[in-house]
Amino acid sequence: FALAVKLLNPDWPVPTGLADLAEPDLASIAAHAGAGPSAIFPSYPQGEDWSQYVPRGHYTTSEQLRRYFTAMMWHGRMTFRVADANETRQAALLTLAYQQTQVEGLSAAQVWAGIYEPTVFFVGRSDDLTPSEYGEALASAYGEPSGPSALVDDAKFAAFSAAAATLRAPQIMGMIVSEGETLADTKGLRLMGQRFVPDAFIFQNINPDQPTSLQVFAALGSDQALGYLPSEDQANPNVAKLRSTFQGYGEDVWTQNLYWSWMYSLLPLLEPTGEGYLQFMRSAAWQDKQLNTALGSYTELKRDTILYAKQVYAEMGYDALLPPDPERPKGYVEPVPLLFQRIAALTRMTIDGLDSRGLLDENDKAALSTMGEIATRLGTMAAQELNGQPLSAEDYEYIRFYGGQIEALAFSASDEGSYQGPGGTPEGGEPLQAAVVADLVTNPAQNRVLENGLGRVFEIYVVAPIGGKLVLTKGGVFSHYEFFQPLGERLTDEAWRAQLDAGKAPPLAPWTSSFLVEQNSAGPLADAIRVFNLALVKAVWYSDAEPLATMLGPTELADTQAYIDRLKVARQFVGSKLISLQFRSFDFQDATHAVVTTREIWSDELYTGSPYFEAQTSGEPILSGVRPAYTTDVTYTLHAEGEHWVIDTIVLNPENPPTWQKP
């Protein structure tokens, strides 16, 4: 206890009589170098794994959280084993203190439950024995002991030890053991024991020496994951047993806590998609993509529970009329309605569970409620798409802007301030990044840990049916990495992100090549042309070519400026609308020169007057000419200036746009 207090409050002086025991273990925790002896628990045959005390996940964002992490890790890992008589005597003393100590008017048992029970709702119950369970053994042997002196009776202690030995055994190996030792040898009391989670149970029962997160999803029913396991894992009879066990669980098991419910929400991603599903969902590549998504979400789950598991913006006002928006593409919801339905249910469960425990303030409740509404709305649209029912214009607008809501929720989750909805601004907290990392399995014999990391979000392109046509859509997808790390070098999010920034990401799993291709150098060229066209719309609307100065070479910039000057002389401006931009070819002449061809569809409106309100002395602008939608083939010649591409020439075919028509 003194060690934990010191971890929580570094300024607290350790009592003189305890310093010789506490200080060596405090030093080991600070060094977190790996396995080594413990002064407080000297009988551990292989010592303690001090590498576990590296604060990780969101616990690195403040000193207070770092202290909490190390103290809770200590209380979650250190075991008073039944097999060791001295540790069992200590367990009896701890249990008695648990029963008799008062803390600010509450019993220690009440204080303990106030910490333990909310974490049960989040992650689950302790895999190891708890003080309340030991209390039953204590009562059976000692009755109601008046104090510590009552525990010295050898006969009663023998009865207590025997009673403790009959208590449940752990299901997960959570400490370093010697060869030949079993789970039963690790049975004992942990003050705030780490929790039983299904994936740890799966790792232990398939191949803990060669773990991979694919084992988890193979056991949960993914044939895709099973096919990528090594042959010896596929042949392991425990895989079939685990699949049968998990497939037999009802909703009551899957929704016992938030951890299990999160895993439950991922199961629809593992379902085969054959006849009856949309064409793009039937390929093996799509199944691989879904498995990758499940692995990515699982990695986030492990990162968020690493301590407990037994491992759109509103724009500013304007002083002018706005130019026409480009034709907005219609969005698409990935048609897995059950996934969204379970996310909505998980959100409701979170709200109800936290609210009933007095742990949910109004800001967080508003954010969670919004999350549930989003998931419900997306689930409804996903079901419509799967059934071939058209989405409404309102649905498409929702898809277009829902990202702003998600961004606001992300700001809220990482910020100590309140949820402000779309348009809110972050005040602090964790940086908004998908890149996180978590260690899943520890192997002391091999001196390594299995790490799963999320990298930068990859772009995904899917040909989806929208409005009776096949449309190339673009979205985001997790990049998932799995790799081993030396035992004493468990990664934090910060270290992982630095590794990514340095270009030292580990290789992706080979099976992801079915749906991943390396981005080529045409991307920046396409971006340069897209940005130019959007800037050109504003230039001819506001009669200002200045924003184009960094995008165009001298000749093209002069030609554009001359066109705008002619419009100014005539007191005119143009509203151009980009309806479609299709890239036809990318031809690199060398590393710094390229030619790009496009097919573009535009419509134009010619106005007399000014778009600026202060210049509208004669009334609003008058529409004086129109060009209905027309198609032009364009050839762009570009050169690179550093990482920036500049457009040197633009050739149109036909050479000139259609003549203006009367509106």
> Alpha helices of 166-275 — where are they, by DSSP H?
198-206, 213-219, 223-227, 231-234, 237-247, 251-254, 258-266
Q: Are 489 and 600 in the same domain?
A: no
What is the per-residue pLDDT for 156? 95
What is the per-residue pLDDT for 414? 61
Strand partners, 81: 188
Strand partners, 600: 581, 632
Q: Are 90 and 142 in the same domain?
A: yes
Sheet of 480-486: strand order equals: 437-443, 448-454, 480-486
C-alpha separations of 311 from 80, 129, 194, 350 in Å: 19, 17, 8, 22
> What is the Cα–Cα distance from 377 to 387, expressed in whole angstroms?
16
Q: Are 531 and 642 in the same domain?
A: yes
In a domain, 50, yes or no: yes
**Sign of CA pseudo-dihedral 95, 100, 105, 107:** positive
> What is the Cα–Cα distance from 67 to 94, expressed in whole angstroms?
23
167 close to 91: Cβ distance less than 8 angstroms: no
Q: Are 496 and 541 in the same domain?
A: no
> What is the Cα–Cα distance from 263 to 260, expressed in whole angstroms?
5
What is the per-residue pLDDT for 616? 59
Q: Which of 194, 188, 172, 187 is nearest to 74 (CA)?
A: 194
The secondary structure element, H or E, covering residue 152 is none
Q: Are 242 and 370 in the same domain?
A: yes
Q: Which of 380, 414, 448 is the last residue of a domain?
A: 414
What is the per-residue pLDDT for 319? 54
Q: Which of 189, 220, 244 is the last residue of a domain?
A: 189
In a domain, 659, yes or no: no
552 close to 560: Cβ distance less than 8 angstroms: yes
Q: Are 163 and 207 in the same domain?
A: no
> What is the Cα–Cα distance from 219 to 249, expressed in whole angstroms?
13
For residue 404, the number of C-alpha atoms closer than 13 Å in the C-beta half-sphere is 15
Q: Which of 358, 381, 414 is the last residue of a domain?
A: 414
Quote the number of domains for the chain: 4
**Sign of CA pseudo-dihedral 493, 494, 499, 500:** positive
Cis peptide before 547 (omega within 30 of 0): no
In a domain, 593, yes or no: yes
> What is the Cα–Cα distance from 226 to 234, expressed in whole angstroms?
7
Q: Are 504 and 465 in the same domain?
A: yes
> What is the Cα–Cα distance from 267 to 153, expressed in whole angstroms?
54
In a domain, 639, yes or no: yes
613 close to 602: Cβ distance less than 8 angstroms: no
Q: Are 160 and 306 in the same domain?
A: no
- The full 3-state SS of 179-210, as one line of letters, equals CCCCHHHHCEECCCCCECCHHHHHHHHHCCCC
> What is the Cα–Cα distance from 510 to 163, expressed in whole angstroms?
52
Query: What is the span of the domain harbouring residue 464?
Result: 437-514
In a domain, 422, yes or no: no
The structure's pTM equals 0.80
In a domain, 400, yes or no: yes
> What is the Cα–Cα distance from 544 to 542, expressed in whole angstroms?
5
Q: Residues 385-441: pLDDT tens digits?
A: 999 899 998 999 898 888 888 877 777 666 554 545 554 444 445 556 789 999 999
Who's near 37: CB < 8 A, 6+ residues apart?
44, 47, 48
Q: Residue 165 burial by CB count (10 A; 0-12/13-18/19+): exposed, middle or buried? A: middle
Q: Are 162 and 307 in the same domain?
A: no
Q: Are 224 and 132 in the same domain?
A: no
Q: Which of 402, 429, 434 is nearest to 418 (CA)?
A: 429
Find the CATH number of the domain harbouring 581: 3.10.450.240
In a domain, 97, yes or no: yes
In a domain, 101, yes or no: yes
What is the per-residue pLDDT for 508? 95
Q: Which of 15, 21, 16, 23 is nearest to 7 (CA)?
A: 23
Q: Are 460 and 384 in the same domain?
A: no
What is the per-residue pLDDT for 317? 38
Residues of the chain with pLDDT under 70: 308, 310-320, 412-432, 519-520, 614-618
Q: Are 73 and 214 in the same domain?
A: no
